[in-house]
Homo-oligomer: A and B are copies of this chain.
Amino acid sequence: MRKTTSTNFSNEEALAAICPMHNVMRVLGGRWKIALLYFIYQGHHRFGLLQKKMPFITTKMLSAQLKELEQDGLIHRKIYAEMPPRVEYSLTEKAQTLLPVLEDLYNWGERYIAVPA
């Protein structure tokens, strides 16, 4: 739970007010989110598959970040009423519009960021 009385919290709000980019970063930040979007885009729609693609991520983190992406309207979560359960994640239109921008950013990174040794 976020502590809404902290300077940390109010600083973030104040910053968002002067720098709207901050909200974008809030949505795309979080360690696994961009990779998740990428893998879902690649066709790995299920929890288990995503975990196989990223063997390091814990179920807690996967679950949490998928939830945030869903809340931010970037992925859609479809539940099949089966047993064992089946849930499929897919990119929303909103996320589709983001892809080309991320691609530009990716290309910038390729050209200008040295991968740390």
- Name A residues whose Cβ lies closer than 8 Å to a Cβ of B: 7, 10-12, 14-16, 18-25, 27-29, 31-32, 34-35, 38, 53-54, 56-57, 72-73, 94, 97-98, 101-102, 104-106, 108-113, 115-116
Contacts and interface: CB of A to CB of B under 8 A. Distances in A.
Most chain B CB within a 10 A radius of its CB, from A21, A111, A115? A21
Contacts of A15: 31-32, 35, 54, 56
How many copies of this chain sit in the oligomeric assembly?
2
Contact of A20 (B11, B20, B94, B115): B115
Contact of A54 (B18, B101, B112): B18
Contacts of A29: 25, 29
A106 B21 contact: yes
